[in-house]
Amino acid sequence: MTISLKLLFEEIHQAKDENDLRSHLAPKIGEYFAAKRSGVFFFDRLLGDRKFQPILNLALSLEHNPVARYIAERHTPVHEELVTTHKSWKLICPRPDHWHVMAGPIVDRGQIVGSVGCTREKSMPAFNSQDLADLSAICLHLSAWTARSATLKPLQPPLSRDRLTPRELQIADLVASGRTNAEIGNELWITENSVKQALKRMFRKLKVSSRTEMVAQLFATELNFKSAKQSS
């Protein structure tokens, strides 16, 4: 079966816990990006594990790791070519199976609480802008899953979608696909400012304050509700 973004989104929102994400989702993310290695990491879990400490000291070092610094400052996915030269990266991370690296943040309440990472060997092609766009969408859904898991909200019918107009639902679907306001405007033939104003109205209707919360309410609840109905 071909791995698609839609399938990955469904896997995320149907995951029961973090172990489920690591054991079932991470390999599928690796397959989607044709990565040598892939993983979903939650920092609070790893910090208590001594065997991961040396890796985390380097991987999370904002001083020594430009990829980690970029993610922390901008809350957006990045690959090594955007932030450093091949020569510098070889010194930072000499492992042959980490020649190409791409990572994105999992965000909860404004804080980076985890990350998604993929690596490729030197003989494999580098990650590109489309890979970053797709990883951005995956990170958005993972952040939504994290926000929902933290609040332990009960399953409810997806009534939130009924509050939005057809055009607003189009915008919501594009947001969930990782599109920027400018990209949404281009696709729907409206201005970037019109997208911004629409999102403000949508946030008020749904009583949320961020894209992550909106995706969590519109998509996570809907997928879990469907899953619960199917199993009943």
Domain end among 151, 167, 197:
151
Residue 124 sits in the same domain as residue 227:
no
Taking CA atoms, 133 is separated from 78, 137, 228, in Å, by: 10, 7, 31
| Same-domain status, 94 and 204 | no
The residue out of 120, 151, 182 marking a domain boundary is 151
Chosen domain end from 98, 133, 151: 151
> What's the rounded mean pLDDT across residues 210-230?
61
Q: 138 and 113: one domain?
A: yes
Whether residues 77 and 188 fall in one domain: no
Q: What 3-state class would DSSP assign to 17?
A: coil
Is the same domain home to 101 and 187?
Answer: no
| Domain housing 198 | 159-231
User: Do 169 and 145 have their domain in common?
Assistant: no
* The predicted structure's pLDDT at residue 35: 94
Mean predicted confidence (pLDDT) in 108-135:
88
pLDDT for residue 156? 44
17 or 73, higher pLDDT = 17
The sign of the dihedral angle between the CA atoms of 161, 165, 167, 171 is negative
Residues 78, 192: Cα–Cα separation, whole Å: 24
The pLDDT, as a whole number, for residue 160 is 64
pLDDT one-digit tens code per residue, 149-190: 765 444 444 456 778 898 998 998 888 887 889 999 999 999
How sure is the predictor about 228, in pLDDT bands with cuts at 50, 70 and 90? very low
What pLDDT score was predicted for residue 51? 54
Q: pTM for the whole thing?
A: 0.69
Q: Report the chain's mean pLDDT, rounded to a whole number.
A: 79
* Residue 33 clears pLDDT 50, i.e. is over it: yes
Q: Do 137 and 32 lie in a common domain?
A: yes
Nearest to 106 by CA among 92, 95, 117, 93: 117
Residues 39 and 112 in one domain: yes
Cα separation of 45 and 189, whole Å?
A: 44
Half-sphere exposure of 198 (CA within 13 A, CB side): 22
Enter the tokens of residue 134: 């797709």
Residue 83, class by beta-carbon neighbours within 10 Å (0-12 exposed, 13-18 middle, 19+ buried)? middle
Task: Please answer whether residues 27 and 38 qualify as being in contact, where contact means their C-beta atoms are separated by less than 8 angstroms.
Answer: yes
Q: What is the CATH number for 182?
A: 1.10.10.10
CA dihedral 204, 207, 212, 217 (to 10 degrees): -120
Domain shared by 77 and 143, yes or no: yes
Q: Are residues 110 and 83 in the same domain?
A: yes
Highest mean pLDDT among 47-51, 142-146, 207-211: 142-146
Q: How far apart, in whole angstroms, are the C-alpha atoms of residue 54 and residue 59?
A: 9
pLDDT band at residue 196, thresholds of 50, 70 and 90?
very high
Residue 124 is given by DSSP the state: S
- Average confidence (pLDDT) over 60-67: 63
The tally of domains found in the chain comes to 2
29 and 84 share one domain:
yes
Whether residue 74 is found in the same domain as residue 93? yes
The per-residue pLDDT for 153 is: 45
